[in-house]
Homo-oligomer: A and B are copies of this chain.
Amino acid sequence: MYKEIEKGICAPEGFVCGSTYAGIKSKKNEKPDMAIVYSLRPSSCASLFTTNKFCAAPVLLDREINAKGKARALVINSGNANAATGQQGLSDAREMVSLTAKSLKLEEDEVMVCSTGVIGQYLPMEKIRNGIETISKDLSADYYDDAAWAIMTTDTVRKQCAYELQLSGGKVKIGAMGKGSGMIHPNMATMLVFITCDAKVEASLLQGMLKEAVDETFNMLTVDGDTSTNDSLIMLANGASNVEISSKEDLEALSSLIKHICLEMTKKIARDGEGASHSLIVKAQGLASLNDARLVARSIAGSTLFKCALFGKDANWGRIMAAAGYSGADIDPSRADCFLESEAGKIQVMKEGFGLAFDEEKAKEILSQEEIIVTVDFHSGEYKANAYGCDMTYDYVKINGDYRS
């Protein structure tokens, strides 16, 4: 039993934040580019990071800090990913942690750091230093909107949500903010997502719940097939509600809400995919294993050709089935059904492996809506999985043709 509330990452008790335009982004465009999130009391933490071997300096550092399970502050910059920056990058990331810890009177292993933006350039440390000083002087539970803005790169909208959950011992709150728009592909999506929570939860328990949620959400999200160097999902739980997880039911309720929040952020990122005009949910059903279902769903959501067809509102379902065919999953084409669906209705375009005559006008109407659902059913088992994505547009190419300038 949970309900949506306001205030994003500051919805849970005992969290404040702040942000500023430090000048890291080359052009001032009204967006702040640095943020700090701070728990007023000690907090447990759990995190998941990119699997990219060229991972960024902050990811290397955060992995160490997360292992101790007790971070209570995050310092984040956008505009520069601090990736492929060698020893200098690591030392810059360490300085961000150390300055933030000093400003907030914390230990250095209580601060995590995230960067997002251009790869391969050193951080402008003088600007960063000033930024940390400015922000840490003015933190408040009212600044969540600006913080959600400060972490954006090519994102066009802020991505945040918050919920209140009734547990057996009382109410707890969870909030989240995230960014991600391009270089989005499992594992994980290219993104930064931060979740705050005022329940009392052990770090190890938190880590388990987070991992389970990510496998069904962010790891099923693809915008462009490129796995980023900086993907980070960090959750802090500070216990400020004084509510403990005291039963199996509580644990399940909390775990289920974390999943819900991850799914909501996943959909927000898919909807805001670079240049996207449609968001896409692919439902793969009737597979003989979970792995097969995930392979099929992700392969279809990631097909460049189908993404282009979606942009053109063209019901080219052959590309959907081709993508299922090369997914690596064990499938029987002769049992495949395929449906296209949106607010405008639902039509079946394939039955038992070959095409049905369908109303092209109706199909165009369905594909003209914002959110499109593709369902493929192989009638070969009980497993299913959803993947999330968007279409491929002129604007994606434009945005990424000249990102650095």
Contacts and interface: CB of A to CB of B under 8 A. Distances in A.
A119 to B, nearest CB: 2
A390 interface: no
A14 interface: no
A383 interface: no
B226 A325 contact: no
A28 interface: no
Interface in A325-369: 325-326, 331, 333-334, 350, 352-355
Given A226-B326, A304-B226, A333-B53, A81 B311 contact: no
A195 interface: no
B53 A309 contact: no
Interface in A168-219: 182-183, 185
Interface string A293-312: 00000000011110011011
A98 interface: no
B84 A333 contact: yes
Contact of A400 (B312, B331, B398): B312
A84 B324 CA distance: 12
A106 interface: no
Contacts of A303: 225-226
A39 interface: no
A251 interface: no
Contact of A321 (B54, B354, B401): B54
A321 B89 CA distance: 16
B404 A314 contact: yes
A381 interface: no
Contacts of A241: none
Contacts of A225: 225, 302-304
Nearest to A53: B325
A317 interface: yes
Contacts of A51: 326
Contact of A322 (B226, B355, B392, B403): B226
Given A84-B354, A86-B354, A89-B354, A229 B401 contact: no
A227 interface: yes
B322 A228 contact: yes
Contact of A397 (B54, B308, B354): B308
User: A-B pairs with the 4 shortest C-beta distances?
Assistant: A119-B318, A312-B401, A54-B325, A308-B400
Given A118-B316, A308-B400, A314-B405, 15 more contacts: A53-B325, A83-B318, A84-B354, A85-B354, A86-B353, A224-B305, A225-B302, A226-B323, A229-B318, A229-B322, A304-B304, A308-B399, A309-B403, A312-B401, A316-B403
Interface of A: 51-55, 81, 83-86, 88-89, 118-121, 182-183, 185, 224-229, 302-305, 308-309, 311-312, 314, 316-319, 321-326, 331, 333-334, 350, 352-355, 392-394, 396-405
5 contacts: A53-B331, A84-B355, A224-B304, A227-B326, A308-B401
